[in-house]
Chains A and B, each alone.
Chain A
Amino acid sequence: MNRISGYFKSLLLVELLRGMAVTVRYMFKPKYTMRFPMEHIPKSNRFRGLLALRRYENGEERCIACKLCESVCPALAITIDSAPRESDGQRRTTRYDIDLFKCIYCGFCEESCPVDSIVLTSIHEYYFDQRGQNVVNKQQLLAIGDRFEKQIAEDRTLDAPYR
């Protein structure tokens, strides 16, 4: 009996028509597509994107060259050299390079930093068009920090109650 009904089912294309009913229903559903350059998916304030170095409000860079970030980085993406600063003898970095190809955006560097210097911003739309641009140096990182300081500070304040 089952075989007979199965035979007629396949002969009358029942299953196929049912499948087509599903697809035609989906045809009229609202679409998920995000028109990317014009529209953006809302991002969490904890989003871990491009790295940046921050400054204090008086313009002094925060980093004290403790190299905690360098040693915690699981991808060995950070390279730091340090020396006493000529003007006042404070310990500062002379070189702070991050290889963005190595970086896995884990955020450990930000967690380990005692002075909230290295941070992960919410920027995720960036590109390199030349070989070697993936290694960003101290000046570039500070510039990113300067440019997006407002956003960075805002994200940190939002997250503060949960930390």
Chain B
Amino acid sequence: MADLFLHQLVLPVAYILAIVVPLIVAVAMFVYWERKVIGWMHVRLGPTKIGPWGTLQAFADVFKLLFKEVILPAKANRFLYYLGPLIAVVPALAVWAVVPFDSRMVVSNANAGVLYLLAVNSIGVYGIIIAGWASNSRYALLGAMRSAAQVISYELATGFCLICVLILAGSLNITEIVNAQAGSKGFFEWFWLPLLPVFVIFFIAGVAETNRLPFDMAEGESEIVAGFHVEYSGSPFALFFLAEYANMILISFLSAIFFLGGWLSPVQGWVHLDAPGWINWLWTGGFVWILIKAFLMSFLFLWFRATFPRYRYDQIMRLGWKIFIPIAIAWLFVSGCMRYFDWVSVGVGA
């Protein structure tokens, strides 16, 4: 009985907390970091007041949001209005179940991990559509429609990119995909090299899927105010915010896992030292590496935001359908050939 209790209740809750609490803290710090970086790129300082160097700014913002009144627009559909943010945030947290941080550090080492990832991740857009539709506002509806069209077109490109990865790795299990990138040639073993165009497309499509600049048509502050969440305030808005940033972090982690060798060390196979255990991860790999890689990838999000102006709607569609998808499909064949003729080494044994 006690055993059942432990396995059915305590452990799952512990797993959930172990993922969600650091994730929320990471989101808060990421918001702070974003404001800092964009400030620096604008030759400003960014937040400096709350906490040392302004580090607690994001927490102050969160608490401000939580204490604000939730305003329900007139004639809005109450049920759907509150359901929208939940649908947006739950998948954004649930996908982390299959994200491996180290060779053994994963909540669920599912065999069809990639499939689960794609499936759950694409639910999030329903939250946006429902929110935009339920708020009974033209701006919100426009934002929701744009977002739906955009996410659907870019999900295709993302899917094709992942298929390339699957062909090379020969597995749907995310841990095995990372292991397939192990080898003796350091970071040249990772999939970014054979799949370079696909890597670029995957990341850009990820930026588009999370509705971030320069693809933030769904929010488009200067044209449709805030897009789908224009009518949201207080904690529902905070949920959207959390979902958006959690998705950004997720895309960074996925790029690191699928193309940059996850927790593998960039000097794998090159350096063999007999050193104390605490520094071994530098060449044998460890979760610190995936954190570093994801941090660098997430920095790109901020860098893009500070650099590029927003795309026009038709340009986004053209980019997605006429450029990304053809290139991804072409590389599908190339990666098939690479696999068939054994041009790339996959895994330690191969």
Smallest distance from the beta carbon of A21 to chain B beta carbons, Å?
9
Residue A31 CB within 8 A of the other chain? yes
Binds A, one of B36-44, B111-119, B159-167: B36-44
Residue A64 CB within 8 A of the other chain? no
Of the candidates B41, B43, B48, the one whose C-beta lies within 8 Å of that of A24 is: B41
Contact B303 A20 (CB under 8 A): yes
Given contacts A19-B308, A20-B303, A20-B307, is CB(A26)–CB(B41) below 8 Å? Answer: yes
A13 vs B303: C-alpha distance when bound (angstroms):
15
The interface size of chain A toward B, counting residues with CB under 8 Å, comes to: 16
Smallest distance from the beta carbon of B33 to chain A beta carbons, Å?
13
Residue B80 CB within 8 A of the other chain? no
Of the candidates B41, B44, B48, the one whose C-beta lies within 8 Å of that of A23 is: B41
Given contacts A13-B200, A16-B308, A19-B308, is CB(A31)–CB(B43) below 8 Å? Answer: yes
Smallest distance from the beta carbon of A147 to chain B beta carbons, Å?
30
A26 vs B200: C-alpha distance when bound (angstroms):
24
Contact A19 B307 (CB under 8 A): yes
Residue A32 CB within 8 A of the other chain? yes
Contact B37 A22 (CB under 8 A): no
Contact B43 A26 (CB under 8 A): yes
Residue A27 CB within 8 A of the other chain? yes
Chain B residues engaging chain A, CB cutoff 8 angstroms: 37, 39-45, 48, 200, 303-304, 306-308
Chain A residues engaging chain B, CB cutoff 8 angstroms: 13, 16, 19-20, 22-24, 26-33, 35
List 18 additional A-B contacts (Cβ < 8 Å) besides A31-B40, A31-B43.
A16-B307, A20-B303, A22-B307, A23-B306, A23-B307, A24-B41, A24-B303, A26-B40, A27-B40, A29-B43, A30-B43, A31-B44, A31-B45, A32-B43, A32-B44, A33-B45, A35-B45, A35-B48
